[in-house]
Amino acid sequence: MRIRAALATGALLAVAACSGSADVQPDSSPQPAPTRDAPEATPSPAATPAPVFPGTSWPRAERGDWTALDADLAANGSTCVAVVKDGRLVHDAYWNGGSARTPHKVYSIAKSLSSLLVGMAAGDGTLDLDAPAGEHVEQWRGTEAGQVTARSLLSMTSGRRWSDAADRQMIRAVRDQSSYAAGLAQDAAPGERWVYDNAAVQTLESVLDDTVGADVGAAAQERLLDPLGMRDTVWGRDAVGNALTYSGMQSTCLDLARVGHLMLNTGSWRGRQIVPGDYVREATRPSSDLNAAYGLLWWTNAEGRVVEVLRQAGFAADKPPYRGRLAPNVPADAFWAFGYGNQYIAVVPSEGVVAVRLGARPAAPDRVSFDGFTSGVLDALDQ
């Protein structure tokens, strides 16, 4: 249905372009008779419309039939959904205690926003993604971790020591999470394995602290949250004040839709390049053959070996790696920020669509999945 809609839209645009001369008033003076072989004027192509961005609030353009999707989301513990098409809010809804400005824990969606801070530092020239991160993490100098790079931390291929127990220890009991994460051992050479590793991502706080020229949380506020107008988002910190780069953030569906719209526009916001475009493109495509579904702290929909993280998302068991795509019923250019309990920022560039879901963990991993949620949004838009 989306293909048919696109063709219909193209036809309407073509008619509008061809009829543009109808408003020109005829000259009343005598005109010479036209020659028989005079060429017809070629209409100018329609100008590409300028991107639309929100101000304090989103511009609205209601469309679609959301009855089925909303019922499914509400029944599966969701507190909010927001869908933006071509820069306009086409649908938002709230259930289970949620509201437009009630922040919700977004868990590992924070990883994807931390990735953007790393991209900014790379764009500034203060961070080389492929240089040893030990240049910025004092605890790693002269150790086996000295050759870990920022890129390997972003791609989950750093080889840092990981276990469920160490993860739980850091999240639930450690006050200085940056020091704890940096102090874990190195188990493998970077690039040898793919492991979804919260502690490895928290070491990016130490890397950024040495490269952004300010407290990491303050830099995030000044360079990302404030320019995007994210007034209901709070960047998380540990008990000693370190900015958390793996989790801890609270936000809303409408605020996170701004992040998705920034990514849809390749890092540009109202004519200002917030995140380098090359970095956005790199972050949202596969970063290794070990997991085609993972970029640089963003999930992708590329074909290849796919490794999901159902246990880290709060479900009972993982499933084995498989060949295919993370969301086979969704365009291949889609990408996501994803957090514990199936929190999502979904971006589908070919459709001009951003969709956000926040809420409680569904009862089963096949409820409100990457594929089910995103395809459900696209189908509802087609109604």
- The DSSP line for 326-344 is S-TTS-TT-EEEEETTTEE
Q: What is the mean pLDDT of residues 264-272?
A: 98
Which tens digit of pLDDT belongs to each residue from 316-334? 999 999 999 999 999 999 9
Answer whether 46's CB lies under 8 Å from 16's CB: yes
Q: Could you tell me the domains of the chain?
A: 67-382 (3.40.710.10)
Q: In which residue are the tokens 């956005």 written?
A: 280
Q: What's the rounded Cα separation, in Å, for the pair 210 and 149?
A: 14
Q: What's the rounded Cα separation, in Å, for the pair 36 and 325?
A: 58
Residue 195 — pLDDT band, cuts 50, 70, 90? Answer: very high
pTM for the predicted model, two decimal places = 0.88
Over the Cα atoms of the chain, what is R_g? Answer: 24
Q: What's the rounded Cα separation, in Å, for the pair 85 and 261?
A: 9
Strands (DSSP E) along the chain, which ranges?
Answer: 78-85, 88-94, 104-105, 250-251, 268-269, 272-273, 299-300, 304-306, 322-324, 335-339, 343-348, 353-359
Q: Rounded mean pLDDT of the chain?
A: 90
pLDDT at 307 over 70: yes
Which tens digit of pLDDT belongs to each residue from 356-365? 999 999 999 9
Q: What's the rounded Cα separation, in Å, for the pair 50 and 52?
A: 6
- Report pLDDT for 42: 54
